[in-house]
Every structure is written in structure tokens, then in C-alpha cells.
Amino acid sequence: GKHRIVIPCLGHFKEEYEKVSKLYMNNKIRTTRYTLLNFLPRNLFEQFHRVANLYFLFLVILNWVPLVEAFQKEITMLPLIGVLTIIAVKDGLEDYSRYKMDKQINNLVTKVYSR
């Protein structure tokens, strides 16, 4: 990969600049929502903020109560699992395309003004 390195003309202040520059963030663009570690919990958290998904979860929980059980327990879980899986795959693909675009933008060759 190509990387962009900008070194200012600081002369004997270069060591001091390196110490201070570690305190600041870099200028890489990051528009992704997820990482590999937080994808599943964060995606489920976002999906259960939708009222429809909470309704289906309520039906699944209600169906596990023996007095109220209307269908087989596994059958009531299928619509919820299906919807959650489809939305998770869609969100994952969208986030991956954002990641690729960020990587492309961060590796662009740029011109730096120099006196």
C-alpha cells in the first residue's frame, strides 16, 4: 500500500514535534459503524430499537410461557431470526463498502504545499 507521509521542516525541533504529535489524532477518515468485535452486539442493539422487532421478540417470549403457548416455540422464533439475519447481512455489506471507500480515500496521493 501507498502511504502519505508529511514531514515538516522543523530542524532541531523534530524530536519535540514527534512527542507532541502522539497526543493528537491522525487525519484518517473512518465512516464505518462497526468493527469485527462489536458488530453483533451493536447491530442487535440498533435492531431492537425498532418497534416491530421488539413486538416479535415479545411474541417469542410470550410463546415460551406454557399457559399462553399458541404455536411451537421454534416456529415463532423463525420470523424474528429471519428479519434480524437479513438486516444484519445488509448492514454488514453496507459497512464493508464504507470501509473499502475509506481505505481508498485514505490512500490517495496528495500534494503538499512546500515553500
How many other CB atoms are found less than 10 A from the CB of residue 56? Answer: 20
CA-to-CA distance for 95 and 33, rounded, in angstroms?
7
pTM: 0.69
pLDDT, tens digit, for every residue of 19-35? 767 777 777 888 999 99
Q: How far is CA 43 from CA 46, 49, 77, in A?
A: 5, 10, 18
Question: What is the tens place of the pLDDT at every residue in 29-88?
Answer: 889 999 999 999 999 999 999 999 999 899 889 888 888 777 777 888 898 999 999 999
Residue type at 94? E
Q: Report the largest interatomic distance among the alpha carbons of the chain, rounded to a whole angstrom.
A: 81
Distance of CA 92 to the CA centre of its chain: 8
Give the integer Cα–Cα distance in Å for 57 and 102.
35
